[in-house]
Amino acid sequence: MTSRALGAALTDIDTVFNGFASPTGTGCERYYLPEDTACLRTPYTRMPVDLVRRFVFESPGNFEDHAAVMRRLLPQTAHAMADGSLCGIGWEEHGLSRVHWRAWPSEQAAAVEAFVHAWWDDTLTTPEPPYPGRDVFETCATILGDLTPILDRFRTQPAWMFDLITDDSPFRWWCRGDDGALVTALQSWPAAHAPAALRAQDESDLAKMAELLALPYDDRWDHPDWTSASATN
């Protein structure tokens, strides 16, 4: 059962993107039949679930107007993300991360952003969410292109500690050419917020590791915690 906020965000997506179609919705004939892409040009109709999944994760180059395709798919796509039926979350690059949706009309951009935030919040507060939190975080981060709003909502445990301690990016789909900036942003958050929460959970070794993320790489590995703490040794 979705939260009230996620339900409201889905209703807004349904309203804002109702009736959208892709007038030039043609696809690569090597992968799609004409009747498949014809669905993109037909408004006010539901598309076959398998086509929604294929189109959402398809390369933008296989469509004449990828942004129009994503608008057409958004209502069904958002509901499938919320209920866990969109196969591909966590191991394929979501189409919303490949369009400049922030440049869309303000009502549309606001609906997309509100949905992504509500989906992440719902994942954090649901005991057994449809997708692993890591996969949802990665998808949200690449769609938003900004880690701050989702990190601010995630204050219970550090993320991807064993990637970050070696200055590695935990993301597969962050193709922005700035992995260094991404890793720095991810390291600074747990260094600042995680230690106290971890100590409250009797995870002192992980708390020390989180604190080490604030140090330069060489200083981090020279720190005496590596020889004194079992979990970081």
Query: What CA–CA distance (Å, rounded) separates 58 from 37?
Result: 12
Measured CA to CA, the distance from residue 6 to residue 27 in angstroms comes to: 32
Residue pLDDT, tens place only, 103-113:
999 999 999 99
Angle at 156 between CA 151 and CA 161, to 5 degrees: 70
Mean of the per-residue pLDDT values for the chain? Answer: 85
Per-residue confidence at 124, pLDDT binned at 50, 70, 90?
A: confident
Supply 11's token pair.
Answer: 């209703």
Question: Do residues 71 and 17 make contact, with C-beta atoms less than 8 angstroms apart?
Answer: yes
Note whether 123 and 131 are within 8 A (CB).
yes
pLDDT confidence of residue 5: 93
| CA 60/CA 17 separation, integer angstroms | 20
**Which band of pLDDT confidence, cut at 50, 70 and 90, is reported for residue 232?**
very low
Under 8 Å between Cβ of 89 and 136: yes
Section 7-25 average pLDDT: 92
Residues 130-163: tens digit of each pLDDT: 998 889 988 998 899 887 788 776 655 556 777 8
**Residue predicted with more confidence, 226 or 5:** 5
pLDDT value at residue 66 = 92
More confident residue, 99 or 187: 99
Supply the DSSP symbol for 132: -
How do residues 208-231 score in pLDDT, each as one tens digit? 888 888 888 888 888 887 765 444
What is the structure's pLDDT at 64?
Answer: 85
> Considering the entire predicted model, what is its pTM?
0.77
pLDDT digits (tens, 9 = 90+) for 63-73: 889 999 999 99
Whole-number pLDDT of residue 29: 61
- What's CA 181's distance to the chain center, in Å? 18
